[in-house]
Amino acid sequence: MKILEMHVTPIAISDPPLLNAAGLHAPYALRTIVELVSDDGLYGVGEVPGGASITAWLEQCRSHLLGQDPFQLNAIAETLKTRLGGRINPRHLALVQSAIEVACFDLMGKAVNRPVVDLLGGKTRDQVDFAAYLFYKYEGVGGALGFKTRDNAQGWGAARGAEALDAKGIVDQAKAMCEAYGFKSLKLKGGVFPPEEEVEAMFALSDAFGPDTPLRLDPNAIWSLETSITWGKRLEGVLEYYEDPVRTQEAMAELAKNVSLPLATNMCTTSFADIPGAMKLGSEAIILSDHHYWGGLRATLDLGRICQTFGRGLSMHSNSHVGISLAAMVHVGAALPYLSYACDTHYPWQYEDVVTKPLEFIDGAIKVPDSPGLGVELDRDSLAALHETYKNCGLDERNDELAMQVKQPGWRFAATRW
Ligand code: GKR
Ligand code: MG
């Protein structure tokens, strides 16, 4: 089997005005879709966080991939590392490797008529649990509708557009999202309002959903160590885990000594190069893996083994994404022998996709598909339309600070705000 064609398509999907420590989600989120076509007429797809630079790096891979056998993942990874390694930064290299590896896995699965999970060692669970990902937000659904809510939206669709800027708004959002998707764990993206308001929202969620519902708060490292200790103590017994309240492994390690709460990260330990420091310092109890940033599905299994060896928990981080990433997360999540928590996903916030039949959440989980490859098919009309949106949307990289300045002129990101 040989790779005959490689197509790299940047897309822009409508994204609601969700708030975070870095600012605001722009009306569009960027993703890049990779399609590899083989000499036997099959195709495989991969998806990564998008934008002009990652798209350009992926374009540069084409000449190194054509003619390669998609089953030879080690050779492909080595070729890309050698050819791009000296020029590309490690973060971009991991994204490139991930997009191509996932597309190769999709191709391989289709070639041997088996789901990707079987190429990763087979299922250790039939379904992967996800958490409701709650955001403070302005009113609106993003995209061409900007800050306006879609007129005919009902149920979760209406809640997705509704403003949620206080504890009650967050509880309403959580109820609507859980009713639509059946999620059983809740994560609030914090770092937006003063800590007391966000902690109040966590208490409100705990009151509304009961003490047995796992809760997480993620201020994206915008709190000082002192603030994180003060509010962390208040949240003991309330949170399942406390996600990245402070920046750096050192600060997380110090925090861990002062609060009785498991700490989780997708910010201070984000690559294999960070693992020695994490283990030496004890910066977190749980690593939030992300196959896009850690270099692919096999790398995620490697990370799982490291977490298991060192007694760290493992879960999954996400960014705004479409159905290819969701499928990849489900396959690797089902293959991981040790996945201790419900995974993050932004997927409910999106209403556009490039796959014909996205995988479905039932009772907060997605069943790993049995069909060949990732189990999703490209919707070529949607892909073309979302590519047009990319060309016309005026964005070529994510910049939440700039998006926030549209709502609050002069707003600036601060590495530590409270
Ligand atoms: O979508 O606003 C967002 C999140 O803040 C995202 O960018 C983070 O990468 O979800 C992420 C996280 O857990 O830090
Ligand atoms: Mg996080």
Pocket of ligand 1 contains residue 266 by CB under 6 Å: yes
Cα of 67 from ligand 1 centre, angstroms: 37
pLDDT average, residue stretch 28-35: 98
Q: How far apart are CA 57 and CA 418, in angstroms?
A: 37
Residue 316 has pLDDT above 80, yes or no: yes
pLDDT average, residue stretch 155-175: 96
Cα of 117 from ligand 1 centre, angstroms: 26
Question: What secondary structure does DSSP assign to 341-398, as a single string?
Answer: SPBP--GGG----SBSS----BTTEEEPP-SSBTS--B-HHHHHHHHHHHHHSS-SS-
Pocket of ligand 1 contains residue 184 by CB under 6 Å: no
Residue 85 has pLDDT above 90, yes or no: no
Residue 64 has pLDDT above 80, yes or no: yes
**Displacement of CA 331 from its chain's centroid (Å):** 15
**Displacement of CA 266 from its chain's centroid (Å):** 10
Atom 4, ligand 1: residue with shortest CA distance? 319
**Displacement of CA 23 from its chain's centroid (Å):** 17
Using one digit for the tens of pLDDT, what is the confidence trace for 374-385? 999 999 999 999
The residue whose two tokens read 């994510």 is 398
Q: What was the pLDDT predicted at 145?
A: 83
Question: What secondary structure does DSSP assign to 223-278, as a single string?
Answer: S-HHHHHHHHHHHTTT-SEEE--SSSHHHHHHHHHH-SS-EEESSSS-SGGGHHHH
Confidence class for position 30, pLDDT limits 50, 70, 90: very high
Round the average pLDDT of the chain to a whole number and report it. Answer: 97
Atom 1, ligand 1: residue with shortest CA distance? 319
Residue 176 tokens read as 């609507």
Q: Which CATH superfamily is domain 119-367 in?
A: Enolase-like C-terminal domain (3.20.20.120)
Pocket of ligand 1 contains residue 189 by CB under 6 Å: yes
Q: How far apart are CA 268 and CA 408, in angstroms?
A: 29
Residue 147 has pLDDT above 90, yes or no: no
Nearest residue to 291 via CA among 43, 120, 125: 120
Q: How far apart are CA 381 and CA 379, in angstroms?
A: 6
Atom 6, ligand 1: residue with shortest CA distance? 319
Pocket of ligand 1 contains residue 20 by CB under 6 Å: yes
Residue 152 has pLDDT above 90, yes or no: no
Residue 151 has pLDDT above 90, yes or no: no
Indicate the range of 21-35, 74-88, 256-270 predicted with least confidence. 74-88
Residue 115 has pLDDT above 80, yes or no: yes
Confidence class for position 360, pLDDT limits 50, 70, 90: very high
- Count of other CB atoms within 10 angstroms of residue 166: 15
Nearest residue to 219 via CA among 183, 186, 193, 253: 193
Phi, psi of 335 (to 5 degrees): -85, -20
Atom 13, ligand 1: residue with shortest CA distance? 317
The residue whose two tokens read 């519902």 is 213
Residue 361 has pLDDT above 90, yes or no: yes
Q: What was the pLDDT predicted at 146?
A: 81
Q: What was the pLDDT predicted at 148?
A: 80
Pocket of ligand 1 contains residue 220 by CB under 6 Å: yes
Confidence class for position 366, pLDDT limits 50, 70, 90: very high
Domain 3-112+379-393 identical in fold to domain 119-367 = no
User: Phi/psi zone of residue 377: left (φ > 0), alpha (ψ -120 to 50 degrees), beta?
Assistant: beta
Cα of 320 from ligand 2 centre, angstroms: 13
Atom 7, ligand 1: residue with shortest CA distance? 319
Ligand 1 atom nearest 20 alpha carbon: 2
Domain boundaries defined on the chain: 3-112+379-393, 119-367
Cα of 21 from ligand 2 centre, angstroms: 11
Confidence class for position 317, pLDDT limits 50, 70, 90: very high
Residue 191 has pLDDT above 80, yes or no: yes
- Domain over 3-112+379-393 is classified CATH 3.40.50.620: no
Point out the residues that are catalytic: 189, 317
Nearest residue to 135 via CA among 181, 169, 183: 169
Residue 122 has pLDDT above 90, yes or no: yes
Ligand 1 atom nearest 25 alpha carbon: 2
Pocket of ligand 1 contains residue 292 by CB under 6 Å: no
Confidence class for position 149, pLDDT limits 50, 70, 90: confident
Which of the listed residues 218, 222, 293 should we mutate to test ligand 1's pocket, taking the one with most ligand atoms within 8 A of CB?
Answer: 218
Cα of 22 from ligand 1 centre, angstroms: 9
pLDDT average, residue stretch 62-89: 95
Q: Which amino acid is at 221?
A: A
